[in-house]
Structures are given as structure tokens and as C-alpha cells.
Chains A and B, each alone.
Chain A
Amino acid sequence: MKQFVSFIRKEFYHIFRDMRTTLMLLLMPVILIILFGFAISTEIRRSPIAVWDQRHDDSSGKLINQLQASEYFELYQMINSREEAGELFRRGKIRLALIIPPAQADARVQILADATDPNEANLLIRYAGAVMTSSLPGPSLREEVSGEVLLLYNPQMKGAYNFVPGVMGLILMLICAMMTSVGIVKEKELGTMEVLLVSPLRPVYIILAKAAPYLLISMVNIATILLLSRFLLDVPIRGSLVVLVSLSVLYALVALCLGLLISTLADTQQAAMLISGVVLMLPTVLLSGMVFPVENMPWILRRLSDIVPAKWYIIGVKDVMIKGLEAGAILRETGILALMAIVLTGLSVKRFKIRL
């Protein structure tokens, strides 16, 4: 036990004496949260638009006012021809153009959108449609618009509700898997592993001692993320904190085992870094549902996403944190993660060499 404690203390010396690593480990979650929360936003806010008003009456004036008043749009300028709109699109000055026809019986408003980013164009058109519907003069017309949408759990459609669990999944994977694998491979590379192996220290303790500090640090990161998202981004934690943290620990264990497995495959720190980056980070970002919805992917990618631990973790976190579900609701996710942890531990312990 004393050996073990002393080993862990040594690991913390390594971590904290390397300023770059320390900063990266502690600030990465903060930076990611702020980046996703404020810079990389999928929400529409103050998109510049242009309007060609050929009608020039009360109702068109009211519509323009409404558009301007909404927080989604900002009137870039009034225009007088279709060509002007085209020019503004080409120069990237506007995202949306509205062409209001002269007052006639069945004249319809035309909406032009810059569809180079299809998701954004879609959203803009939907918002513009919503604004127009609400500004229509008579109740008779409004009745034709049927169907009422009720957004559950996230009525304001805040992006943070999606990316906070995503960032948690990413950070835990990054720190537990990448740092552990690099940490172990570093000992191999420096030759200290040789000395450690020729000691009474059991190899399993070497592994545990290498992994434990990163588990601890990743828990600090989870706390940071939860605090930031709660108080900075106003993302609620509706479910039980205990369940949330337990799920995170389980996921961190899976990530640690992955890191361990990588360390048995790689011989240099660069190789470990590369394998963690390509084999772990890419699927975690692309296939976990954090950025792109998995449901729309081809069959093969969907199956592939099933073996990405982050997918199950993110589903679990959303269920507990955003929907406020009980532990019983995430049994499937917990079970899959536990199974992964067991299989990976077995694999990496089997692969860990007690010799060079």
C-alpha cells in the first residue's frame, strides 16, 4: 500500500511539474465549454437579412418591424431588386432575403436563403416563417396553420443542452485514455519501465498507479464542467447528481482501460498520441451523436457508433441531467459501459507484458 501511495505521489509530481500538461488538463474543459457555449453556437442569433418591399403598406411595414424585433434577425439593408439580393449573398453580407410582392390577391412572400450551410438555412427559413405567421393580419389566415409544436426538456432549443454532455464525454476520453496511454508509454520510452519491472512492484500496481491520478483529475474536470454549465450556461442538472457522477466514473474507467490497451500497442509517446487521437478522438467526436446525429448515418456507421463508449455515456448523461430520469432509466447504457469496461480490462491485462 505504501508503495502504491508513493507511486501515485510520483505521478502527481510528473503531472504538476510539466506546466503545459497541468494547464492543458485543468483548463481544457473550461476552454471547451466556453468555446462551445459562446463561440461555436448552432443557435441563430442576429442573422443579417435584406428585404425588398414592393408592397409598401401597413402590413408589409409591420412584418419588417416584427422581423427586426425578433432576436433572430437583423435588417442589413432594404433593397430594390432581385439582383441586389444576389450581390449581397455573393459578398456574404446577408443570410436571408425577403421579397414582398406588390399588393395583389394571391401574392406570396418569397424567401431566399444562403444554403451553403443547409442546417442554418433551414433554421432561418423556419424562424422567418414563424415570424411571418405571427404577423399575419387576420385570425382567419392563422387558423390555416395547423399543428402546434411543443418542445420537451429544452423548449428554447439551447445548444448547450446537447454539447455539455458531449464535452463531458470528450474530456473524460481525452484525459483518461490519452494521458494514461502516454504516461505508460513514456516510462517505456525513458527506460524507467525496465527498472520498475525489475522490482518487487506487481505489474498490476504499476498500471493502477499510472491510471489513478488521471481518474482523479477527470473527476475534477467533471465538477468544473458541471459548475460552468450550471452557472454560466444555465443548463440545469435535473436528475440525481450521484447517478450522474457514478455514470461518469464508469465511463472514465472504460476510457482508462482503452488508454491501457493503447499503451500495450504503442512503443513511443507519439504513437500513443496518434492512436488515441485517431482511434479514440475521431469516433468520439463524429460518431457519438455529439456533433452529428447518428440516426441519419448509413447503417455501417450506425453499427460502428454502437461500440463508441461516448455514445452511450452521452445518452445516459442527457437522460439524467437534462431529462431528470432516475438511475433505472439508464440501465441499458450503464450495462453496455460496464460490459465494455470488463472486456477491455481483461484484454489489456492479458496484453500487458510483464517483460520487455
Chain B
Amino acid sequence: MNQVIIRNISRKYGDTTALQAVGFSVPPGELFGLIGPDGAGKTTLFRILTTLLLPDSGSATVCGFDIIRDWKEIRTRVGYMPGRFSLYQDLSMEENLLFFATVFNTRVEENYDLIRDIYVQIEPFRKRRAGKLSGGMKQKLALCCALIHRPEVLFLDEPTTGVDPVSRVEFWDMLRRLKQQGITILVSTPYMDEASRCDRIALMRSGHCLSIDTPGAICRSFGKPLYAVRSGRMYALLKELRTYKETFSCYAFGDSHHLTLNPGGADDVGALQTWLRDKGYTDVSIEPIAPGIEDCFMESGDRNV
């Protein structure tokens, strides 16, 4: 029995389409990632699943309960951590935790084992007002508050946005451990590099689900050779590469440009190298690389939207 089942959900805000026929299922104990940039519809989907919004069409169940009819049941069974910090800034860390424990009809001690790993890290600051905590500590506290009632399904909306890289890694380690406790976790993130930490991911853009699979399978499905191209003049090179007649796609990726070519000739790399040398790029390096999630994201975006 899948913990979350989404069938064909669509939702509009006025004329803007936030979600367009999205559907997937998440089995128990899975760490499922929604990957996509701002405006992809991740938050809207989370709000629909946590019964905060109604879909325009389509249906969904969480823990076997219908999100429209059985909203009360769902609200006792899920944990939700909204995208922006949603705890009381003027209450201390400890007071926030105690408050949410009582709101969820439980005590901190009851499920302490679940949050212990996270809580010990922030415990030295338990008397500090939540508003004065650092970004990473705020997210850890928010996670504790969302976990305090041992939810069956945990929804985390961009938990690592605005958090430093070290805390981000720690945060994902924590999610791994929670998953081992049997909690189904849906997490959204705009960071493509975090996708590989999920069991399965859904790539989202402009309200559409581009593909849903394990990160590995999505990368393998890329289906054509990918090259990293570097040179001394990167920006000029990017514009040049996009005018090359055999270029299928070319995107700037940090220190190199990721390039795919139209299927064709045997020595297409050699041909490109010659072409670039004629254009005056003498220091060009072109090397084949394995595609990452971000490559797949850019690629499927071109294809589907």
C-alpha cells in the first residue's frame, strides 16, 4: 500500500498554472525528492497533500486517506515543515518544541528517540529565542517540531534553502536516519546536487512532472554523449557553441559548458574542435562526462515544455 498516491492533480492560481496533471506514488519508507526551480509547483503540491489547498482536479490519498474528504485524519498523521521558517520567533527553542508537542497531543519524552540525534545538536541553545537562531539551527528545530508526534509521512518543503553547505549535508544525513525509522519522507529542493540523496525523485518544472525515477535511472536515461567544454573565454565560447550547426544543446555549468551534439558523424568531437580552432579558440578542451541530474533536468525541459 503506497503512503502517498497522487492522481492527475491540477491546480491554477487565476491564470497561472501551478500544477498540471501531476501524478505519482510513494511507497512506505521511501525518501522521495521533488526537484525543481522556484515556481515549479513543489510548494503547491505539498500544500495540497497536507490538506491546506484543494486541487482543481485530480485526487490524492495520504496514508490511505482522501485529501479532500478525510482532511482531519491526515492532519493527525503527517508532519509538515513549510518552506519558510514557521515557528514562533519570540518563543525559546524549548518552548516551541513543548508547544508543538502538546498541540500534537504528545510529550517530548515520548518520541525523544526520534529527534535525539537532531536535538542534541541544538540543545545548548534551548533557552535562546527561535528568532535568534542561525539558519541551520532554525531548520533543525523546525524538523524536530515536525517530527515530535512521530508522523507517518513527513513533508519537507525546501528544508535546505538558505542553509550553509555543511548543515545541508548534515540535514540529509538526518533524513537518511529518519527513513530508517520507517518514516515516509517527501522533500523538495531546488538544489540538483541533493537529488542523488533521494531514493526516487520527480523532476518538476512549471507545474509539470518531467520524469519520475531513481536518480541513477534518470541519469542513465540521458541517452546521448555529453561533453564538458572549457576555454579561457567562457562566455564568448558559450555563445559560439550555440551557433554551431551540430549543437543540440549547450548550457553553462559552473566551470565548464555541458554540450550535446546532434546524432551524426563518427568524429563529431574532432569536427567541433577544428571548427572552434578556426574561430580562434586555441585552448579548448573537450571531454566526455557522465550526465548528472541537472543535465537531465535541462534536457527534459527542452523536450517537454
Contacts and interface: CB of A to CB of B under 8 A. Distances in A.
Given A6-B99, A198-B78, A191 B85 contact: yes
Contacts of A196: 103
A190 to B, nearest CB: 7
B90 A197 contact: no
A124 B82 CA distance: 66
B85 A194 contact: no
A192 B75 contact: no
Nearest to B102: A6
A197 B52 contact: yes
Interface in A26-72: none
B75 A198 contact: yes
A191 B54 contact: no
A14 interface: yes
B184 to A, nearest CB: 16
Interface in B49-88: 50-54, 71-72, 75-76, 78, 80-82, 84-88
Contacts of B176: none
B183 to A, nearest CB: 16
B302 to A, nearest CB: 34
Interface in B92-119: 95, 98-100, 102-105
A356 B99 contact: no
Contacts of A197: 51-52, 75
Given A10-B91, A13-B90, A354-B71, A198 B80 contact: yes
Nearest to A16: B90
B52 A195 contact: no
A184 B72 CA distance: 21
Interface in A339-356: 354-356
Contacts of A17: 90-91
A200 interface: yes
A13 B95 CA distance: 10
A199 interface: yes
Contact of A195 (B72, B80, B91, B98): B80
A8 to B, nearest CB: 11
Contact of A198 (B50, B84, B85, B95): B50
A208 B118 CA distance: 33
Contact of A355 (B52, B81, B145): B52
Contacts of B98: 6
A105 B207 CA distance: 100
B168 interface: no
A55 to B, nearest CB: 73
A3 B101 CA distance: 9
Contact of B103 (A3, A14, A194, A356): A3
Interface in B231-256: none
Contact of A192 (B47, B50, B87, B146): B87
A16 to B, nearest CB: 10
A7 B91 CA distance: 12
B80 A200 contact: no
Nearest to B107: A2
Contact of B51 (A7, A10, A198): A198
Contacts of B161: none
B89 interface: yes
Residue of A3, A6, A198, A355 contacting most chain B CB atoms (<10 Å)? A198
A199 B51 CA distance: 11
A336 interface: no
B78 A10 contact: no
3 shortest A-B CB distances, which residue pairs?
Answer: A191-B86, A6-B102, A200-B76
23 contacts: A3-B103, A6-B103, A10-B88, A13-B88, A13-B90, A14-B88, A14-B90, A17-B91, A190-B89, A191-B82, A192-B86, A194-B80, A195-B81, A195-B145, A195-B146, A196-B103, A198-B51, A198-B52, A198-B75, A198-B80, A199-B103, A356-B52, A356-B53
